[in-house]
Amino acid sequence: MSEVARTGNVGALQKLLQENPLILKDFAMASPYESPLHIATKARQLFFVQEIIKHNPEFARESNQDGFRPMDIASTFGYVEIVTELLRAGPEICRLSGRDGKTALHYAAINGRVLVIYQLLSTCGASIKDVTSLGETALHLAVKFCKFEAFECLIKWLERLRMEEIVNWHDRDGITVLHISVSRKQLKASSAHPIFLLLSILN
Give the residue from 14, 44, 62 where a domain finishes: 62
Q: What is the pLDDT of residues 119-140, one digit of tens each?
A: 999 999 999 999 999 999 999 9
DSSP tag of 193: S
pLDDT above 50: residue 105:
yes
pLDDT above 60: residue 3:
yes
Helices (H), 20-45: 23-30, 36-42
Residue 81 sits in the same domain as residue 55:
no
> How far is C-alpha 12 from the chain's CA centre?
29
CA distances from 94 to 31, 35, 69, 87 (A): 25, 18, 10, 7
The amino acid at 33: Y
Indicate the number of domains in the chain.
2
Looking from the CA of 190 toward its CB, the CA atoms found within 13 Å total: 9
Residue 50 sits in the same domain as residue 68:
no
Mean pLDDT, the chain, integer: 87
d(CA 157, CA 155): 5
Q: What percent of the chain has pLDDT over 90?
A: 62
Q: What is the pLDDT of residues 45-65, one digit of tens each?
A: 999 999 999 999 999 999 999
**Residue-range definition of the domain harbouring residue 32:** 1-62
Give the residue from 41, 62, 83 where a domain finishes: 62
- Nearest alpha-carbon partner for 110 in 156, 149, 135, 145: 145
Residue 84 sits in the same domain as residue 159:
yes
Which pLDDT score is estimated for 191?
A: 45
Q: What is the pLDDT of residues 145-165, one digit of tens each?
A: 989 899 999 999 999 999 989
Residue 108 sits in the same domain as residue 83:
yes
**Contact between 47 and 8 (Cβ < 8 Å):** yes
